[in-house]
Amino acid sequence: MKYIILINLIFLGAALTKAQSTYDNFDEYTAGSPLCVESEGLWTTIDDNPGGIRDAFISNEIAYSASNSVVFTRSSSNVLLPLNNVRTGSWELTFKMWVASGGNGNFSVSHEPVNGQLNTAFEATFTETGHGILNAADAVIYDFTHPVGEWFDVKVVIRPEQNQARLLIDEIPIRIDSWAWCLGSLGIDSTITALHFNPQAPASGEIKYYIDDVGFQQTNLQLEEHASSTRVYPIPASHQLIIEVPSAQVVSCEIYSTIGKLVHKTTVASEQLAIDCSSWKPGIYLSKLESSNKKVWHTKFIIE
């Protein structure tokens, strides 16, 4: 079903009535209740029927902050957060995500509708194996990795006027360069219109994921500054670990285990570090890079 009239009304109403910056941590809502009903108009469903079969539910099973998150477990759930039809400036869309063991998740961001149909700018799929896929209008398709069974950061940085967008997982860009923001499933457009959390999953998979602390705000950072985050690969690593260093003057690198034990320390002399990790125990590690002006970058990675 195209929901032609409803989609146009939802996005038009959002553009006229809502402030540009948005934040929701779901902690004032009642666990077990439908998200769109509890939010009193901040969120809605794709068919504009809060409390219907396409609504998602507030959960207190796990939460990144305080007591509540939103859980997606039904193949019918399809909720959206209108984003005010922004066309200028630099914007960050952020949220926390937890992909449950055996579960899958999906979100997308859309441009303005075309003839009442959703014009998807891009979508990102998360799987039970930790394999993610970004698809921007079938023109840019990129694989990435993500944690499973723990909270992680999702950030989308969009500069409509420069036609640039970037996706970061735990502050790590999933690709070195940005992609053309104007790409859309139904046509070229630069508008930031809505965030969607969708029910899509691999044919053999089940839906189960949580979101928390959803925000949409203007940022003074340029896209290139987001691109200066560290990149660690391969993930998982087994023999050698490569760390790409931000362009800022990084002077030291420390790596810690999850219990806080320092396992490696070195000075930084170039923009790429190659570290022998063949003797490290399998598990999750944290790298800490520090610049001469005390700016710090943290990155999680896995050793197998």
Report the chain's mean pLDDT, rounded to a whole number. Answer: 85
Nearest to 166 by CA among 92, 98, 273, 74: 92
Work out the number of other CB atoms within 10 angstroms of the CB of residue 117: 14
Give the separation between CA 217 and CA 223, rounded to whole angstroms. 14
Nearest to 171 by CA among 34, 287, 266: 287
Residue 167 backbone dihedrals phi, psi, to 5 degrees: -110, 130
Quote the percentage of the chain above a pLDDT of 70: 87
Peptide bond into 50 cis (omega under 30): no
Please identify which residue in the block is written with the tokens 């990435």. 144
Cα within 13 Å of Cα(146), Cβ side: 36
R_g of the chain computed on alpha carbons: 20
Do residues 165 and 158 make contact, with C-beta atoms less than 8 angstroms apart?
A: yes
Specify the range with the lowest mean pLDDT, choosing from 115-119, 189-193, 237-241, 299-303.
Answer: 299-303
Give the pLDDT band (50/70/90) at residue 259.
low
If you average pLDDT over residues 280-289, what whole number do you get?
83
What local confidence, expressed as pLDDT, does residue 3 receive? 46
DSSP per-residue string spanning 112-157 = EEETTEEEEEEEEEE-TTSEEEEEETTTEEEEEE--SSSEEEEEEE
Q: Judge whether residue 304 has pLDDT over 80.
A: yes
**Which domains does the chain carry?**
4-226 (2.60.120.200), 230-303 (2.60.40.1930)
Q: What tokens does 14 get?
A: 């959002």
Give the separation between CA 7 and CA 224, rounded to whole angstroms. 34
What local confidence, expressed as pLDDT, does residue 229 receive? 62
What local confidence, expressed as pLDDT, does residue 21 receive? 81
Give the separation between CA 72 and CA 28, rounded to whole angstroms. 19
pLDDT tens digit sequence for 184-234: 999 999 999 999 998 776 656 788 999 999 999 887 655 444 445 677 888
pLDDT tens digit sequence for 99-138: 998 889 999 999 999 988 999 999 999 998 999 999 999 9
Q: Which of 139-143, 203-207, 253-257, 259-263 has the highest mean pLDDT?
A: 139-143
Cα 16 to chain centroid distance, Å, stands at 26
What local confidence, expressed as pLDDT, does residue 18 receive? 45
Q: Judge whether residue 160 has pLDDT over 90.
A: yes
Give the separation between CA 246 and CA 228, rounded to whole angstroms. 5
What local confidence, expressed as pLDDT, does residue 155 receive? 93
What local confidence, expressed as pLDDT, does residue 179 receive? 94
If you average pLDDT over residues 177-188, what whole number do you get?
93
Alpha-carbon distance values, 240 to 125, 233, 284 (Å): 28, 9, 15
What local confidence, expressed as pLDDT, does residue 196 receive? 96
Q: Judge whether residue 6 has pLDDT over 70.
A: no
What local confidence, expressed as pLDDT, does residue 203 receive? 58
pLDDT tens digit sequence for 35-90: 999 999 999 999 999 999 999 999 999 999 889 999 998 778 899 999 989 999 88
Identify the helix (H) or strand (E) that includes residue 223. helix 223-227
The residues near 117 (Cβ < 8 Å, ≥ 6 apart) are 2, 4, 7, 186
Nearest to 156 by CA among 187, 190, 122: 122
What local confidence, expressed as pLDDT, does residue 20 receive? 65
If you average pLDDT over residues 241-254, what whole number do you get?
81
What local confidence, expressed as pLDDT, does residue 17 receive? 39
